[in-house]
Amino acid sequence: MGSPIRILAMAGSARRESFNRRFLAVAVGEARSAGCEVAVADLGELALPLYNGDLEESGGMPPGALRLAGLVASHQALLVASPEYNSMPSPLLKNALDWCSRAEPNPFEGRVAAVMSASPGPFGGIGSLRLAQQLLLKLGCHVVPGQCVLPHADKAFDPEGRLANPRTRESVRTLVADLARIAARMAS
C-alpha cells in the first residue's frame, strides 16, 4: 500500500467556537480514522493583511502567505470549511486564498479540494460552498463534487462535539472518502 494521503484542512472562520471549525474537526477526525495524514491551518493566525498589489510589490508576500502556500504545496488535498457571510465565502478565507494564489509556482495546481459549510440557517451555507468550490476550481484544484452542508448548526452537535444526525455524519464520511480516493488516484 502507498503512503497515506496528506490533507491540509482549514476553516474560513477565526472564531474559536465557530460552527465551521467544529464541522471541520469532525471531518478531520474521519480523515485520520481513514488513514490520512491531516494538518490543520488556522487562517486567523496567519496575520494576513488585505490583499493589495502595491503591498505585494513593495514587500513581497507576507510570511503568513508564504507559509500557507508552502503548506498547500506540500499536501495532496485540501479540506475547506467555508462559512457563509451574506451568501458568500468569508473575507478571511477569500483573502487567504488570494494571497496564496500569488505564489510561484501556483500551489493549488493539481491539488484535490473538498468544501463543506455549516450555518445556523436552514440551508447550511450552500451559497458559500458553491462559490468556494468555484474559486478553488479557478485556482487550479480538482474539486470534489457534491454538497456537504450542515444546516441548523447551532443544534447539530452533542455536548462532546459529535454530529447528532447520522445522515450528516455519513455525508462527512462520504466527502472525506471521495477526497482521499481522488487524491490517491491522482498520485498514482
pLDDT at 147: 87
Helical (H) or strand (E) element with 37: strand 37-41
Give yes or no for a contact between 39 and 72, defined as CB atoms under 8 angstroms apart: no
Q: Given this structure, which CATH class describes domain 11-187?
A: alpha beta
Percent of the chain with pLDDT over 90: 95
Give me the residues paired with residue 118 across strands: 150
C-alpha cell belonging to residue 114: 473538498
Which distant-in-sequence residues (6+ apart) come within 8 Å of 105 by Cβ?
A: none
Coil, strand or helix at 183: helix
pLDDT at 74: 98
For 86-145, what is each residue's pLDDT tens digit? Answer: 999 999 999 999 999 999 999 999 999 999 999 999 999 999 999 999 999 999 999 999
pLDDT at 84: 95
Peptide linkage before 91 cis (omega within 30 of 0): no
Sign of CA dihedral 154, 160, 162, 165: negative
Residue holding cell 467555508? 82
Residue holding cell 491540509? 8
Q: Band of the pLDDT at 58, cuts 50, 70, 90?
A: very high
pLDDT at 1: 52
Q: pTM for this structure?
A: 0.96
Mean pLDDT of 72-89: 96
What DSSP letter does each residue of 55-92 carry, written as one string? HHHHH-S-HHHHHHHHHHHT-SEEEEE--EETTEE-HH
What DSSP letter does each residue of 117-129 carry, written as one string? EE-SSTTTTHHHH
Instruction: For the chain, give the longest Cα–Cα distance.
Output: 51
